[in-house]
Amino acid sequence: MSKYQHTSMYCYPGTDVLINFFDVEDDQKLKELEKVYSLLRLSELQLQKPADPLTLTSFLAIHRYILQDVYPFAGELRKEMISKGSSSFAHPKHIEIHLVKIFRELELETYLKGLSSSQLIVRLAYFLSELNALHPFREGNGRSVREFARQLVFNAGYRLDWEKEVESAEIINAFVDSFNKDNNRLERLLAKIIS
């Protein structure tokens, strides 16, 4: 059963397995490969100085970097509808327009620089909830958004450590709440992991 609940142009015919550079059609094996390679790339990103400012181009580059070894669509905006459970994400024809709007707003807010910790948390939660609601990529949205947030916070003079929150369910639930227009849990989570 597909977690996205529909046939995908990104999958091998008759399967829910994403087309990949390894030509692996076993979903479990693909997830293992994806995890290994994305963790490697994420660890490399932690050793690199982030782009400053973090523009839309930077955001797409983060996605491309994380998934470059696995998927041919790394760094590309998705071209089909997707949903998880009862949540449908933005229609593909609206993604780029809304991303441009989000990043223009982020630029107007000086990429969250010069904010107190409490102000940073509120505004970061807002931007993360907007990016999550768009779900601009076919796969790898959570990892890309979290890495983008880490880099954005670093450039603003703080440290964001997702590893401090050992319960991945808490992170997922915070993003689910934010999708439903409630950023309280996400703000509490960010308060625990930003220093």
10 inside domain: no
Nearest to 160 by CA among 148, 175, 150: 150
71 inside domain: yes
**Domain housing 102:** 27-193
120 inside domain: yes
| SS3 of the chain: helix, strand, coil, percent, to 5 | 55, 5, 40
7 inside domain: no
The pTM (predicted TM-score) of the whole model is 0.93
Give the per-residue pLDDT at 85.
80
2 inside domain: no
44 inside domain: yes
**CATH number of the domain within which 88 lies:** 1.10.3290.10
3 inside domain: no
Alpha-carbon span 125 to 110, nearest angstrom: 16
Q: Which residues pair with 192 in a beta bridge?
A: none
For 51, residues 6+ apart whose C-beta sits below 8 A from its C-beta are 58, 61, 151
5 inside domain: no
Domain count, the chain: 1
Band (pLDDT 50/70/90 cuts) for residue 7 is: confident
Band (pLDDT 50/70/90 cuts) for residue 165 is: low
